Amino acid sequence: MQNSIALSARMPTARRARKGISDAQKQALRRACVEWFQSQFGRLIDRATVSRILSSKYQHLDTGPASLNMRTSASHWPILDDKLFEWQQRHQDAGFPITGPLLRFKAIEYWRKIPEYSKLPMPLFSDGWLTRFKQRHSLRYHIFHGEAASVPSSIHDEIKPIQVVCDQYDQENIYNMDETGLYWRRMPNGGLSTDGYAGQKKDKARITIVVATNATGSDRLPLWLIGTAKTPRALRGGKFPGDWMYLALE
């Protein structure tokens, strides 16, 4: 048999009647495939392996990229597989770390939304499923560098219970509070000059500012300024709007 099997790409000029393949022809085809594989790769495989590879189970190999891996199982649920991988890629491009538990959570969410799977029992989405999904799409654990690494990889998993609780309340009644620092004595990093600036030690004097508002932004609470002086000199005798408060730490 020749080193390669070529299929004609020419379309028939007239419609031909379909002819079945006899058992003898099927046997000859399987035998020829076994001989061709042995001549190409120096390995002898049985005819059952040939029949299994030619079945629809491995149909994805006709369109997908070739791989040197010995085994890369096809997905039993290709629609879910495509949607989940597209979601993972979209969030990867945005700089969000994706974890295994988050992939499982999203798989369950997508499964419930896909009409083709509405009458099928939901898979377990076990560790084995997760491993095969990562193998199919060459997903590996990487350590993020730069600002993206400042966000814990578990934040997406931890935020889910909070979202469940928040769903029980109106947006106007959901508040968030956070703090930030103001280095009020810090000099600018540079300025206009005819010559270079000599380096100076940066002043680290700071005050803490606490901000809070509801989810809609309609109720912005007064600012809390946390400092060290009970009565800051700059504030003595002054009249200021009542939309801020000051607290001194002992």
What would the pLDDT profile of 57-115 be if each residue is shown by its tens digit? 556 556 555 555 545 567 789 999 999 989 888 887 777 778 888 899 999 999 999 99
Domain count, the chain: 3
Q: Which two tokens stand for residue 140?
A: 């590996």
User: Does residue 148 or residue 222 have the better pLDDT?
Assistant: 222
- 34 located within any domain: yes
Residue 145 confidence (pLDDT) above 60: no
Whether 14 is covered by a domain: the verdict is no
Whether 153 and 180 map to the same domain: the answer is no
Token pair of 139, please?
Answer: 């997903």
Distance in angstroms (rounded) separating the CA atoms of residues 98 and 109: 15
**Which helix H or strand E contains 246, and what residues bound it?**
strand 244-248
Domain annotation covers residue 62: no
Max mean pLDDT range (35-49, 195-209, 224-238): 35-49
Whether 73 contacts 128, CB under 8 Å = no
**b/e code 90-114 from CB counts within 10 Å (16+ = b):** eeeeeebbbeeebbbebbeebbeee
Residue ranges making up the domain that contains 237: 173-188+201-250
Residue 13 lies in a domain: no
Q: Are residues 132 and 75 in the same domain?
A: yes
More confident of the two residues 171 and 61: 171
**Is residue 136 predicted with pLDDT exceeding 70?**
yes
d(CA 131, CA 139): 9
Provide the pLDDT confidence category of residue 197 given band limits of 50, 70 and 90: very low
228, 247: one domain: yes
Q: Which residues contact 73 (CB under 8 A, 6 or more apart)?
A: 132, 135, 136
Residue 154 maps to a domain: yes
Confidence (pLDDT) at 195: 37
Q: Are residues 152 and 207 in the same domain?
A: no
Q: What's the confidence (pLDDT) of residue 6?
A: 44
Same domain, 181 and 232: yes
User: Is residue 235 domain-shared with residue 158, that is, in the same domain?
Assistant: no
Report the candidate in 158, 164, 169, 149 with the shortest Cα–Cα distance to residue 216: 169
